[in-house]
Amino acid sequence: MSDPKKLFIKTYGCQMNVYDSERMAEALGGSGYVQTETADDADMILLNTCHIREKAAEKIYSELGRLKGLKTSNPDLKIGVAGCVAQAEGQEIMRRQPAVDLVVGPQSYHRLPEMEAKTREGAKALDTDFPEEDKFEHLAKRPKASRGPTAFLTVQEGCDKFCAFCVVPYTRGAEVSRPAERVLTEARDLVERGVREITLLGQNVNAYHGAGADGDWTLSKLIRELAKIEELKRIRFTTSHPNDMDDDLIAAHGDCEKLMPYLHLPVQSGSDKVLKAMNRKHTAEEYIRLIERFREARPDILLSGDFIVGFPGETDQDFEDTLALVEEVRYGQCYSFKYSTRPGTPAAEREQVDEDVKGERLQRLQALLTRQQVEIQNSMVGREVGVLFEKQGRLDGQLIGKSDYLHAVHVQAPTALLGTVARVRISASSTNSLAGDLITD
């Protein structure tokens, strides 16, 4: 019996890519591959790429330049590029880097086994189609091996919003929702394998409208049905768009106990002029009113968001409007970036803000967001929270987990609690984490 082939996957970008990488590994498992932690001893290397950040494609080409040297010691090594850069660059990747054997877009990775077989015959394999078939239906069923207590589960893909700065509609395609029963079946499967917290994923996850026997399901209906799975203790979802929020999803944060009090809701700017230029189709005031409704439903909800500074045409006053929105909302976590052009998007053709101005604005925004994050994290001291223990810490007898609010928490606790949710009283706050004491009474 021959030794199994080794697969190394390097994942860039968002949680959806993490999920996709898991499914790619499962798809290739049927072709005799097992995963390895290093590229050096791999028989196949896959770069699962993201096109959102600045110079994403050039970073991938740089990585490919380093990896091609491994073919000297292993001529049978196959190198593949998957994900959004693969979708955007296609044949150009193979032209610029002949060491690449396989290029597959994010909607076609269910075809990886056939593509891999083609490369073993000495041919190149390229597939960046948006196939009509549902890739999830053509993937092998997930293996029953036990796994960690948290998992991502993609329920929706693509985007119809066409924000002026974003490539997602071009690399992921139109909005598509997975059928409700298929999502529920996969969730039950994960729970059987030891998962206790599921994060539902989508480019615009709250645009979910999955087909069900009784008509299309909304995200809130899906969440309420998932909550009926007894051993599933926690549900989260990301990423949402303000324009896709409905009343029942807001209400679910108040009446669905398993839906965690955490909401990631990007706004990008506090200036109505900039929001219009971004094609966001909502105002700053509408966003703030939406946040107020969530807080009415769940007063302790922790908010997270995304911001872009230096979008073309952003003035000093526009940026001050963003700071004012941040002051009003108060974020427990946030992601903020300088605007960078994406070829093919409308904003790329507009007059750009000076890089020094972008940098100064980003520093000011991040300083404000960091202050808010620290204040909110410090306010957790003395509170009782639920913690799902995920792994052992560096200290003897220490476990690390995530609170209801997604804070990392360190606790002295027996290893028997791994994979369970326990009550913890927070005793201290430090950079990016909390410490707590197990409540045993």
* Annotation: binding site for [4Fe-4S] cluster: 14, 50, 84, 159, 163, 166
Q: Is residue 220 a contact partner of residue 200, using CB atoms and an 8 Å limit?
A: no
Six-digit token pair at 236?
A: 């989260």
Residues annotated within a binding site: 14, 50, 84, 159, 163, 166
Cα separation, 221 vs 206, whole angstroms: 11
Centre a 10 Å sphere on the Cβ of residue 324 and count the other Cβ atoms it contains: 13
Six-digit token pair at 172?
A: 């992921």
Q: Which residues does 299 contact at the CB level (< 8 Å), separation at least 6?
A: none
Residue identified by tokens 């390097």 is: 10
For 212, counting Cβ atoms within 10 Å of its Cβ (0-12 exposed, 13-18 middle, 19+ buried), the class is: middle
Residue identified by tokens 């600045």 is: 54
